[in-house]
Structure 1
Amino acid sequence: MHINSDQHFSKIAQELSVRESQVRATVEMLDEGATVPFISRYRKEKTGSLDEVAVAAIRDRIHQLRELDKRKESILKSLTDMEKLTDELEAKVLAAETMTELEDIYLPYKPKRRTRATIAREKGLEPLANKIFEEEVIDLKSLASDFIDSEKGVESIDEALSGARDIIAEWINEDQETRSQVREIFNESGHFKARVIPGKEEEGQKYKDYFEWDEPINTAPSHRVLALRRAEKEMIIFLDSSPDDELAIHSLESKYVKAQNEVEDQVALAVKDSYKRLLKPSMETEVRMTSKKKADEEAIRVFAENLKQLLLAPPLGERNVLAIDPGFRTGCKVVVLNSQGKLLKNTTVFPTGSAHQKVVAENELKQLCSQYDVNAVAIGNGTASRETEAFVKSLGLPKHVLVVMVNESGASIYSASDVAREEFPDYDVTVRGAVSIGRRLQDPLAELVKIDPKSIGVGQYQHDVDQGMLKEGLDDVVVSCVNGVGVELNSASKELLTYVSGLGPQLAKNIVAYRDENGPFASRKDLMKVPRLGAKAYEQAAGFLRIRNARNPLDASAVHPERYSLVEKMAKDRNCSIKDLMGDVGVRNQISLKDYVNGEVGLPTLQDIMDELSKPGRDPREKFEAFSFEEGINEIEDLKIGMKLPGIVTNITNFGCFVDVGVHQDGLVHVSHLADKFVSNPAEIVSVQQKVTVTVTEVDVPRRRIALSMKSNPFGEDRKAKANKPKKKTTNRDNRREEDAGGDLQQKLSQLKGKFKM
């Protein structure tokens, strides 16, 4: 088999609306081991300035097409071994554009277990099936009687006809065009129909909305698909995923049944059997897989976008921090971290305990803040957080000391992990958790990379989606964020270095070991001294690593070492040093970039270099701003309908966003309440960690549910909407569907006849 790679390049170029040369260059570099961040940042001339999204899309699509090629090779080999391969069949296999199409072509030849049709063939009934299917029969009973054979197990005319129908049913099921036709019906007219399993009403209260549910499969949003599947898995509901059986059977009869006689009656029976016994279960499985994959992709996309926003949250920066992991009974775990995140001190205080304990806590916290010149107090947002926050704010600390509530999702996962045990072998999980809270304030990205992304809690149904696909998607986000921000080589953890382009776990470990043994890196070139770090890894990683106060100022920038000589030439041409070039905008303005274009370097890279020289090593994240919740609102019971409160967005889904208003339970701003205008995508209105003002519209204390609104006048508009809402019909949805079924069915059949030329 010969697969032309040019066809793949052309196909991808067409799908992504880019040039074929861009796809070819990108795939060649990927095949050579280049990473997505490196290609998009340092090889713009080769790719035509494709960004990370486009490069990743090319990577994923070429992988899919190559997997399709592998399957084609396997199928062709199987057909050859079975001596079934013809030129026509080979051409069909090679022309297949999807796995589904390919498997449909292979299905009639695919080795299968012993079926009813197999048994019927063994009884010699295939000639009878042929004559019936090809309408060659004049006297059906007379012909069928010729196939009665006790030795073969055919005792009667009915048994002969039944076996023939089994063979016809299998032919219909294995016909590529028929499967495509039924697949189209499932995709366009299939419905998710759910009903509660009797006796599961109380146990499945959280799925109450789905106790009697009917929704088109092709319009069901991802979160609902995953919720329905979870409810089914937990055995709360029965779930059907198919179109109207009558619609599907009629469409097949229009294709196979051409007249009304006893022969065609046999074909009609075979059609019905084929659909119900073979096609429907197969297509239902397929449509479930397809809808699940689509739902997974959307859920992962939402999760990835949320994760990106969380990882790129503004850092406090290199400041001394006192971090508190709050608690009532066991007290608050307190740690002090220096500006590099190193643990200096740990203790436990009881600010919510007895009067004596409060006095001790007050004195100790004040002393620690003074002794270690603390710039900020980070308080985890878990149990006792609001009480602890109020206590700290009452201490009368200097005005420059910020008091900040920090989202501690996943901190417990980190504190019990191998990473935490390796870093702090002599401390228990409570101390490690407090350290994680403090470091999250200093640099969210550097700390959160130590935690499995799906444990951070910014997704929807993350445990229900394909875990391999989820890991790939989230790893891409972490890699993009880490390399986009850049990593300080002399202070980065092994976990952070792991995500740097071209490195990975082993080289990251080797870098840290070399640094511990030899001291800080003086230049990027010293990386080449690290065991097993060769020229390729250096090329991929160097531009994303920073060395503050290095001898060469370019080592602190995103300028790649391969372009140092170019910058040196620019400085020499201006008769100045590289430092002068970086520090004097007037000097840079004298440079004509066109003068430095050559065979390898074009204007895109030159412009990147000039941008970097003007702001070397600049952190692309926004500036940190402190945030405070409303004082006196600490528990869900404190909330009243109509309250306007400050909050912070913690998670975004397709149906809205969740906002923390400081009561240990996030509230939901439904997509219909995100703005005064219509909103189709919540991510266009809000982002994770965004500070917002919300209005409380509903509080359900027993169920721990809070409804919030970001509309300027949520209640007024709701009343107006209710007034204008048409009166509800007395017939329910199912009754209306039954009343309209005849007309709908005929309309759908007409559409299908036009599409498939019945």
Structure 2
Amino acid sequence: MVEEVIRLSEKLGLRIKQIEATIQLLDEGATIPFIARYRKEATGGLNEVQIAQVRDEIERLRELEKRRETILKSIEEQGKLTDELKAALLAADTISVLEDLYLPYRPKRRTKATMAREKGLEPLAQQLYEQPETLVPETAAQAFVDAEKGVNSIEEALEGARHIIAEWVNERQEVRASLRTLFQEKAVIKSKLIKGKEEEGQKFRDYFEWEEPLKSIPSHRLLAIRRGESEMILSVSIEPDEAEAIALIEHLLLKNQSPAAEQVRQAIADAYKRLLRPSLETEMRLESKQRADEEAIKVFADNLRELLLASPFGEKRVLAIDPGFRTGCKVVVLDEHGQLLHDDVIYPNEPQNQKEAAGQLLRQLCQQYKVEAIAIGNGTASRETEQFVRSLHIPGVLVVMVNESGASVYSASKVAREEFPDKDVTVRGAVSIGRRLQDPLAELVKIDPKSIGVGQYQHDVDQKALKKSLDDVVISCVNAVGVELNTASKQLLAYVSGLNERLADNIIAYRTKYGGFRSREELKRVPGIGPKTFELAAGFLRIRHGEHPLDASAVHPESYPVVEQMAKDLGCRIEDLLRDASLRKQIQIERYVNDKIGLPTLQDIMNELAKPGRDPRQEFEVFQFDERVHSIEDLQPGMRLPGIVTNVTKFGAFVDIGVHQDGLVHISQLSHEYVSDPAQVVKVHQKVMVTVLEVDLNRRRIALSMKTDAPPPKKQDKRKERKQEAEDMAAKLAALRAKFGQ
């Protein structure tokens, strides 16, 4: 793997030693969060993204190596492995090149060329392929006319020979490589409406007659076209100009203008149309799909990270309401740790309008349980319910609207049924809404990320790759925040570095039996947690008021001795170091560098001593929608409204403005400046101010802008602006349909 590591170093811009150390740690079972946080000396301070890149690339290289070994073995068993071919196979650095080299030796199904060989036409094909200027093809073919073999005429002989030549052309590695480059650079994707599908295919009408370079098509547009194809609304093709492709092959293979060369010319055209074009189109479909998937998955992962790391309200008592009309509003009260204390139902909205009784109950519950906030789900009847609750003016109680996407998925899940077996789905849903306010991360890990509603064509992308990426994000977020060992749910514990569902169950069983953990060291008594698991998990698990003062921090137990030495050298206790900044300033961390611990880890320790167990998430801020609008009918162009970003895509951002229908801020409306990537301007859960541009009541669509009323600054590059507007205009309607038309 030495050469592979060198290539990986060049590709990722990392030192060879960094890559080798990372690979070794991964092979030993270390997790990405553990390596990034506690093995900085070994990796040279690589972050989680870089470590994940090394992991993914080394997995790809190992898959390539496995395929190479299979191919070498196959060709060797055929007795056709020459030194030259072996060298070429060993040098191949992509699957495409490897498969091109293997193509002539791959076991074949019965083809036109196979049948021509059976008729004894390969020698004729060889004569023509060499293109001697004196050869007369018809004269040469006459010798191969044999009715018993099924060759009844000169033309049949020449046709069979051309089939064999076409197969040779298809199998020429340099031909495939050159054509592949042409497809990558100049292929055009075209989509057309399938006849008779006009009515059912309206959501794809932008693509009824569409074409653009494959090289530059945005991921959302490619995925939309592919969905139209999969739903049998559109027919799709991907190819460069046919004449240019054939001319490229002719330039590589034709030697002269002889009659024999003319036969080869015909074989080249046949090879391209019948063999090469379909093969490379399939390859380009896969390659472009993979590229679009990667982009869409990255958008999803970035959105999910922002959502998971949204500000927590904290360990405070919450009353949560799942709003409704006819069936009423489900009300639950949760304690500081999210445990259900009480559930009820009120009917403040139509048709019952029992506002007085509902208000009396809410006031009573808030007083009885010392509630600090009321969380209201943002679904049906949310604004009506919010307006009613705010009108009560309950002193000391915040009113907060909470995004309930996926709450219904949780309420019907096995997890919810196990926790609340005697409660119906509406109560479970209300509990989820309340817990999302208290700690979004702890609650959202219980839900399949695909159900949270922050993706772009998430059902169309590679599901295995999507799951891997989203799992990485959840693991990263959970371990960045840290997990309280004595109160965390099984789902949260399962995402901790080194743990899984089985070990999470064992931890919960242990803490239930023994009344909780008093120290991190006690983890070693849990069945299944050996030295390696303890090493990977301990630093990310917190125990408030534990036996060791550092058990509530992100300092790893393996580093406790160095902190104890620091305290000893200063003649104080560790608790004093945590409290007194002046003591910490006296520590010269360079004195504590040794062969096991370096300056990066020591600096992390000092940062942690300053704020032990600090939560990296932002402080919670109260948000309120504009009281003038409660439904889409209340909107008027020109209104300036507060909103919360619910989803970020490559074509813009969707914003909740409190009317039960998210509006779209198109990429061209995000800023007065040119924007190439919306994620550089907005994040999921960000609070923004938007202006209503357009309201389409029939299609329930809202166009918004984040541009201010101030005149736009002068553009440095008008061509970029015009190009952006031209590219985005065609995508705008499709973007809206992709969000609302499904």
Normalising by structure 2, report the TM-score.
Answer: 0.95
Q: How does 1:488-527 map to 2 (within 5 A)?
A: 488-527=484-523
Deviation, structure 1 residue 600: 0.8
Kept in 1, the 8 Å contact 2:194–2:233? The answer is yes
Deviation, structure 1 residue 365: 1.1
Residues 253, 725 of structure 1: CA spacing in aligned structure 2 closer, same or farther, 3 A cutoff?
Answer: closer
Matched AA of 2:207: Y
Partner of 1:578: 574
Cα displacement string for residues 12-51 of structure 1 (whole angstroms, at most 9, x for unaligned residues): 2221112111111111111110111111100111111111
Distance 1:406 1:181 in 2: 55
Q: How does 1:51-130 map to 2 (within 5 A)?
A: 51-130=47-126
Distance 2:142 2:630 in 1: 85
Deviation, structure 1 residue 356: 6.2
Deviation, structure 1 residue 715: 10
Tell me, yes or no, if structure 1 residue 145 matches structure 2 residue 135. no
Name which of structure 1's ranges 8-17 and 96-105 shifts more when overlaid on structure 2.
8-17
Matched AA of 1:252: I
Q: How does 1:362-441 map to 2 (within 5 A)?
A: 362-398=359-395, 400-441=396-437
Distance 1:123 1:599 in 2: 74
Partner of 1:34: 30
Distance 1:588 1:306 in 2: 38
Partner of 2:527: 531
Tell me, yes or no, if structure 1 residue 474 matches structure 2 residue 470. yes
Structure 2: runs of 5+ lacking an equivalent:
731-742
Tell me, yes or no, if structure 1 residue 175 matches structure 2 residue 168. no
- Which of 643, 667, 676 in structure 1 is aligned with 2:639? 643
Matched AA of 1:163: G
Residues 91, 716 of structure 1: CA spacing in aligned structure 2 closer, same or farther, 3 A cutoff?
Answer: closer
Partner of 1:298: 295
- Which of 225, 229, 232 in structure 2 is aligned with 1:232? 229
Distance 2:509 2:82 in 1: 61
Partner of 1:753: none
Matched AA of 2:32: V
Residues 335, 139 of structure 1: CA spacing in aligned structure 2 closer, same or farther, 3 A cutoff?
Answer: same
Deviation, structure 1 residue 202: 2.4
Distance 2:637 2:204 in 1: 26
Cα displacement string for residues 392-415 of structure 1 (whole angstroms, at most 9, x for unaligned residues): 0011211x2111110011111111
Distance 2:634 2:204 in 1: 28
Distance 2:136 2:244 in 1: 31
Distance 2:458 2:291 in 1: 14
Matched AA of 2:344: T
- Which of 203, 208, 212 in structure 2 is aligned with 1:206? 203
Partner of 1:487: 483
Cα displacement string for residues 446-495 of structure 1 (whole angstroms, at most 9, x for unaligned residues): 00000111111101000000000000000000000000000000000000
Residues 381, 714 of structure 1: CA spacing in aligned structure 2 closer, same or farther, 3 A cutoff?
Answer: farther
Partner of 2:697: 701
- Which of 119, 127, 130 in structure 2 is aligned with 1:131? 127
SS at match of 2:642: strand
Cα displacement string for residues 698-743 of structure 1 (whole angstroms, at most 9, x for unaligned residues): 111111111100112499999xx9xx989x99xxx9xxxxxxxxxx
Q: How does 1:348-367 map to 2 (within 5 A)?
A: 348-353=345-350, 357-367=354-364
Partner of 2:241: 244
Matched AA of 1:690: Q
Distance 2:619 2:439 in 1: 12
Partner of 1:661: 657
Distance 1:408 1:641 in 2: 28
Distance 1:708 1:385 in 2: 21
Partner of 1:329: 326
Distance 2:590 2:711 in 1: 60
Matched AA of 1:333: K
Distance 1:186 1:261 in 2: 30
Deviation, structure 1 residue 503: 0.5
Distance 2:432 2:179 in 1: 54
Distance 2:175 2:6 in 1: 30
Kept in 1, the 8 Å contact 2:347–2:353? The answer is no
Matched AA of 1:95: A
- Which of 250, 253, 268 in structure 1 is aligned with 2:250? 253
Distance 1:93 1:508 in 2: 46
Tell me, yes or no, if structure 1 residue 452 matches structure 2 residue 448. yes
Distance 1:725 1:587 in 2: 60
Residues 343, 114 of structure 1: CA spacing in aligned structure 2 closer, same or farther, 3 A cutoff?
Answer: same
Kept in 2, the 8 Å contact 1:128–1:164? The answer is yes
Distance 1:503 1:550 in 2: 21
Deviation, structure 1 residue 256: 2.4
Cα displacement string for residues 307-345 of structure 1 (whole angstroms, at most 9, x for unaligned residues): 000000000000100001111111111110001000001
Partner of 1:739: none
Kept in 2, the 8 Å contact 1:646–1:693? The answer is yes
Cα displacement string for residues 263-292 of structure 1 (whole angstroms, at most 9, x for unaligned residues): 222111101100000000000000000000
Partner of 1:670: 666
Kept in 2, the 8 Å contact 1:673–1:709? The answer is yes
Matched AA of 1:492: A
Distance 1:517 1:161 in 2: 85
Kept in 1, the 8 Å contact 2:131–2:256? The answer is no
- Which of 262, 265, 269 in structure 2 is aligned with 1:265? 262
Cα displacement string for residues 217-248 of structure 1 (whole angstroms, at most 9, x for unaligned residues): 00001111101100111111111111111111
Deviation, structure 1 residue 354: 5.2
Count of residues paired in the alignment: 720
Deviation, structure 1 residue 571: 0.3
Distance 1:192 1:265 in 2: 31
Distance 2:200 2:697 in 1: 19
SS at match of 1:623: coil
Tell me, yes or no, if structure 1 residue 544 matches structure 2 residue 533. no
Cα displacement string for residues 492-534 of structure 1 (whole angstroms, at most 9, x for unaligned residues): 0000001100011111111111111211100001101111111
Matched AA of 1:319: K
- Which of 588, 610, 622 in structure 2 is aligned with 1:626? 622
Kept in 1, the 8 Å contact 2:325–2:351? The answer is no
- Which of 306, 309, 316 in structure 1 is aligned with 2:306? 309
Partner of 2:285: 288
Kept in 2, the 8 Å contact 1:673–1:714? The answer is no
Kept in 1, the 8 Å contact 2:137–2:158? The answer is no
Paired-residue identity, %: 62
Residues 672, 516 of structure 1: CA spacing in aligned structure 2 closer, same or farther, 3 A cutoff?
Answer: same
Matched AA of 1:267: V
Kept in 1, the 8 Å contact 2:131–2:258? The answer is no
Normalising by structure 1, report the TM-score.
Answer: 0.93
Kept in 1, the 8 Å contact 2:631–2:658? The answer is yes
Residues 358, 265 of structure 1: CA spacing in aligned structure 2 closer, same or farther, 3 A cutoff?
Answer: same
Deviation, structure 1 residue 259: 3.1
Distance 2:614 2:87 in 1: 56
Partner of 2:737: none
- Which of 341, 353, 356 in structure 2 is aligned with 1:344? 341
Tell me, yes or no, if structure 1 residue 614 matches structure 2 residue 610. yes
Tell me, yes or no, if structure 1 residue 223 matches structure 2 residue 220. yes
Kept in 1, the 8 Å contact 2:136–2:259? The answer is no
Deviation, structure 1 residue 254: 2.2
Deviation, structure 1 residue 11: 1.8
Distance 2:707 2:614 in 1: 37
Distance 1:640 1:209 in 2: 27
Matched AA of 2:286: M
